[in-house]
Structure 1
Amino acid sequence: MAEGYSLKPPSALDVHSRNLSVTWKRWKEEMTLYLDLTVDDAVKKKKTFLYVIGEDARKVYETLTIVNNDNAPIAEKDRTVEQVMTAFEAYCNPKKNETVERHKFFTRSQASGETFDEYLTELRTLAAECGFGAIKDSLIRDRILCGISDGKVRERLLRESDLSLKKCGEICRAAEVSRRSIQTMKNSEDIVHYAYKPGKARAKKQAVPQTGKTSSAGSCSYCAKKHPPGRDACPAYGKECSACGKPNHFARACKSADKKQPRKMGKAPGQYKKKTAVHAVEDEDHGDFLMTINDERPSPENAYAYGVNANSYAKQVYATMKVEGKSVRFQLDLGATCNVMPRKVLKKHNISYQVDSNQRTLTMYNDTSIKSDGETMLKMINPRTKKKYCAKFVVVDSVRALDCRLNRPVVPLRCGK
């Protein structure tokens, strides 16, 4: 080993590199320097080379044929490090297709985030394999002009009448430095310096209570009126909103997304019987239909209250109640005017009942009528609240009710609350 030197050897040669010729060229330069600085003996140089080159490269070495000037094979013990390097040079630099290499050069553009010097180095490396000869620098200049990512710099280059590769590089580097400087100055301008006194800020916040905030126009955001600051001066404090049911604000100042929609009005009084909206939306889980049951007796004074569009109530609501000790599933209907119990439900649950002689006629949404068996009183218990009820039900014929799509007990929604 050469006196005074203790150097780290190069890493193993990557014989699987996608660009093996470039990898070999760089590795060879580093290895040559290492051998010159650390090893004096020629035999040791060859052994050091074969050790440092790595296991994969040694496998390649075993397949190489090394010959002398007369094309006669050279024995392993007689080979020099120079002859071994020459054999690897031929292996790592096979004959290239010039057309393909030129295609790589002419399609190479500046990548996003790639600096100009990195782009120029890559173009020089590609041009070295293209055989351009004396026009190499001019072609690199042209490729920079076509492949640079900054359109403004391209316009600046096109304005030059006698543009050389050196001048092209100077313009591109100057534009890159200017762009970085502008970005640095812009970032500095975005910084905002401010100061405040925490004590005063807190005192100002406490001066306006939560329930007495006023808008920029001076109106309170809870009552929509003007009044002195403070929740005690707000007339809405302690009141309940008629729109959403929440406390401490009036409906005219309500910001809830759950406001009730105004009722749609029907025709004038006198043109309605006591009839509600019809809902015939099928339940996918149970195959039932949500209906409204209408009493034949006219009620003109309630025409507006019941003149609601059918699309206003699309959901089906059900509840389970204990009827005479048996669990029965009811369908709740906001528009129903009476409680309806199909005879088949009573029979199914073995519920004893007695009907009176009041055989009422019920009307469906499509004006189909059905005559009831009569009315009966049934005892019910809400299994959740344990409250007891005694409700009157209109009993209908199960077979005829099936034709009319009324095969489940129905009660008005107010009775299910």
Structure 2
Amino acid sequence: MTTPTNDAVSGIKPPANLQINSEISTNWKKWSQQFEWFATAIQLDKKPAEVQAATFMAVIGPDAIEIYDGFNLNETDKVNIKIIKQKFTEYFAPKTNISFERYIFYKIEQNEDEPFNDFMTRIKTQAIKCDFGSLLDEMLKDKIVFGIKSTQIREKLLTEDELTLTKAINICKTSEQASKQLDEFEGKNKTEKVFTVKSKNSKEAQNEKFDCRRCGTNHGRKECPAFNKPCTKCNRNGHFAHMCRTKKSLNTKKKNKVHALEESSDSEEEFYIGSISADGEKSWKEELEVDGVKFKVKLDTGAECNVLPKYILDQTKATLKQSRTRNLTCYSENEITVLGEVELMCKLRDEWVKILFKVIEERHQPILGRKSCKQLGLVARIKSLKTREDIFEGLGCYKGYEYDIDLIENPKLEIKPSRRIPHAIREEVKQELDRMVKLDVIKPETEPTPAQTD
């Protein structure tokens, strides 16, 4: 038997160049493992040290050269592949707090209407940061069982004998597909939800009276006498002056509004949200992008702060911070609990801006409040309209402008009889018709005529 030479394995292709992007930590771990396999296959450890280092740098790709130059290695370390790999590991995958990453993993739950594949991708991505080792499949399986939204699917998983990760994934995918097919079979009409926050659903609860913070009286739901009434203290609608929470000082009149890009108060705050709803194309919306995640926000000038549901925040890398705001108050006096706040670097119309959001648990439509809409130039207040008197000529003629109208060839037009005019207003109608004839707007016809298209 002869010993294989290096030429026998020289046909093995090296891994592709390392992709340096936002997922570099994960990419580095995968690429490093591929290179180890490649090095073993070509018996790289039997070659001279300088060849090993040169092979590594040739395979990692040109994007890593500037990073390598920044290591400032001496001549000895430049030919030591172990030191080079260690430097790249420290650069691309800095040491993380494993306990915290596992805490995030344990908290993950499937969101409402979130496809199982998206849920599985989220827990796999987080699990990579947790260093579970040989327990990875077991931890993923348990996370599926306890994190899945459907109680029916969870029951199937718990009653399955010798449940494995593969079995759990297959059960979830099959159940999800069967549910979609059943919905289509039964012809369910899935209408868009209108998220109106209500604290109680029963008729008794809706008729229950409470002490109103806007008018100062005790009344039932939607019976507030201050509704749409202006406050003589702050000139805002919706409350009386003796219930106004606006604080005045010598130099400033500080209102309890959101500062979309910055805040300076240390006291507890409560913001008013005119409406949180999903009304489709009728509302004004803009698309934002954060960490590659795109979502629509509603431009709501009736809202005093920016609102972001937690399920969108969970898809980004941002960390939730404590907020002085405890609740968001809707028009109907219902309150939404604020989990915290987060300042996100958002891409808006090819520009990057920082926006401060109040984060809530409910899966409502994300909104941008009045202050942010104005600061970002999305809405503007028009105080006056300028008119020009020299742009028209005669009656309804716009000078210096031609309009191209597309006409249908050989149209079938419906001819209807003239409408009867009540005797009491016949004289007024005749006077108006005579006036329009004199202005050459219309012309009289005494007999039926065919429909004209020219």
User: Shared topology, TM-score over 0.5?
Assistant: no
TM-score normalised by L of structure 2: 0.36
| Higher Rg | 1
